[in-house]
Amino acid sequence: MRAVLPRLGRIYAGLALALGLAMLASLTLGYKIYELADVWSALFANDGSEVATVIAGLRLPRALIAPLAGAALGMAGVMVQTLSRNRIASPDTLGLNGGASLAVVVATVVFGVQSLVGLSLAAALGALVTSIIVFGVAAGAGGLSPLKIVLVGVTFASLSHAVVEIILTSNEAQLQQLLFWLSGAFVDRPISLFFNGLPVVALGAAIAFALAGALDVLHADDATATSLGVPLVLVRGLAFVAVSLLTGAAVSMAGPVAFVGLVVPHLARRLVGLRHRHQLAAAALSGGIYATLADIAARFVIYPVEAPVGAITAVVGALTLLVLLRRRLA
């Protein structure tokens, strides 16, 4: 134990340092590259100049929202993979991103919602409603087994995406407006979204860490977990609530940023092992780093135009998925 704790401490310190550097890079890099002195002046001695406005008004919100959304999706991914006992599962698998996307499209096309805050609230509500539907249908099908949860989630995700395509095809006026949101992005987000999402992420994280010991036991089969006194229905229900809160908050801030919940848990396990209290902490830090670096990359891949960050995470996630599938089939 004495040898493990210092090693974990160094890992956490390294991740925290990397996250801080990534956030600093997010403030300095973009269409225009600013010096550290410009960042300091903009944040602590804002004189209303164009440089200060860009850094404090445009880049600071995304430098805060990206790591928060990435941390939320990373922790959600850890829990989804444990609940489903499937290392290629993610919050996308449970249909939460699909449900949130459908809610945004319906809010815009049917109810005429235009504000970013309104669309964010619709996304959060869509993720929450989806979690209730998936949880309820899986429970009504004879019990909350991991396989049933995943099957119901995948089915609902496919249904949601199909409905979104139908609505957008018949309403071309809203198509261009919503495409960027549906691809996932951190650009042009007001800082109020960060403060709205922070308590939701904190609540979801608190539930997740409270369940860490029970989730360790869920690595085994249900019979073993039951024999060790784990209330399976209660633990899975609370874990599902935590996943919904974390995913809903992330989607409400950034849109459906895909594959973060798939990639990050694998990195976290490699760094700190299988104990969930360590996995969740490492996934939060790693997810923040991953989302922030993806956001920076999105500014340059088709420079000077900015790409949706969801496209960057989708490419990395798809490659990761192919590698994982190849290993499972080997």
Q: What is the pLDDT of residue 142?
A: 66
- Taking the mean position of all CA atoms in its chain, how far away is CA 207? 16
Of 80, 77, 63, 72, the C-alpha closest to 26 is 63
| The pLDDT of residue 5 is above 80 | no
- The answer to whether the CB of 237 falls within 8 A of the CB of 290 is no
Residue 295 in tokens: 């956001």
| The pLDDT of residue 174 is above 90 | no
Instruction: Kindly report the three-state secondary structure assignment for every residue of 116-145.
Output: HHHHHHHHHHHHHHHHHHHHHHHHHCCCCC
- The answer to whether the CB of 232 falls within 8 A of the CB of 242 is no
- C-alpha dist (Å) from residue 177 to 62, 68, 171, 215, 292: 20, 25, 11, 41, 24
| The pLDDT of residue 143 is above 70 | no
Query: What are the pLDDT digits (tens) for 84-125?
Result: 888 888 888 888 888 988 998 888 888 888 777 777 778 878
d(CA 54, CA 34): 10
Q: What is the pLDDT of residue 211?
A: 96
**Residue 330: pLDDT band with limits 50, 70, 90:** very low
Q: Which CATH class is domain 64-329?
A: mainly alpha
Whose structure tokens read 């919940």?
261
d(CA 203, CA 221): 28
Characterise 48 by phi-psi region: left (phi > 0), alpha (psi -120 to 50), beta (else).
left
**Residue 15: pLDDT band with limits 50, 70, 90:** very high
Q: What is the pLDDT of residue 136?
A: 82
**Residue 279: pLDDT band with limits 50, 70, 90:** very high
| The pLDDT of residue 201 is above 60 | yes
- The mean pLDDT of the chain is 87
- The answer to whether the CB of 315 falls within 8 A of the CB of 297 is no
For the ranges 32-36, 212-216, 236-240, 290-294, the lowest mean pLDDT is seen at: 236-240
Torsion angles phi and psi, residue 305, rounded to 5: -80, 145
| The pLDDT of residue 215 is above 90 | yes
Mean pLDDT of 167-196: 79
Query: What are the pLDDT digits (tens) for 122-139?
Result: 887 888 888 888 878 877
| The pLDDT of residue 2 is above 60 | no
